[in-house]
Amino acid sequence: MRIDPQADRALIAAFHPGEVSRPRGAITRPRSPSIQLLDAVMRLAGPQADLLRHAERPWASATFHGTRHTIAMRFTGPEGLSAGEAFIDALPEHEFTISRQIVADAAVSEVEQVMLPQPHMTVEVDVLMLEDC
């Protein structure tokens, strides 16, 4: 898994703690549910996936509340295309384990595949995560 250098420092720190300096003696907090979800999605996508962006927004219904996440990633090269297709197949049935959260829906919302000059696939997924009360 690789992270776009333009990504947020917090995301870089979550995936590569040694790359972002932390004050000596700083207390580390448990990872937020959003970071846990992003980590789980990127692990499912595998090492061929590059994180392009992640956005989250509040979501609520009459009985539930949580967050809706949009995650975009790129798979590059022939191996990447195979990994992207495997990710697309696996995502809808994957059982996520996020503390105090339920992943109610995970679906691929957009796929763009380009063959020239270098084959790559951009995959965007939407995930609805609800608070488990």
Assigned fold of 2-131: STM4215-like (3.30.2000)
Give the separation between CA 5 and CA 101, rounded to whole angstroms: 29
* Residue 15 binned pLDDT confidence (cut-offs 50, 70, 90): low
Domains of the chain: which residue ranges?
A: 2-131
Task: Give pTM, 2 decimals.
Answer: 0.76
With H, G, I as helix, E, B as strand and everything else as coil, classify residue 83.
helix
Give the separation between CA 44 and CA 42, rounded to whole angstroms: 5
Q: What is the pLDDT of residues 35-86, one digit of tens each?
A: 999 999 999 999 999 999 999 999 999 999 999 999 999 999 999 999 999 9
Give the separation between CA 133 and CA 131, rounded to whole angstroms: 6
Count of other CB atoms within 10 angstroms of residue 124:
15
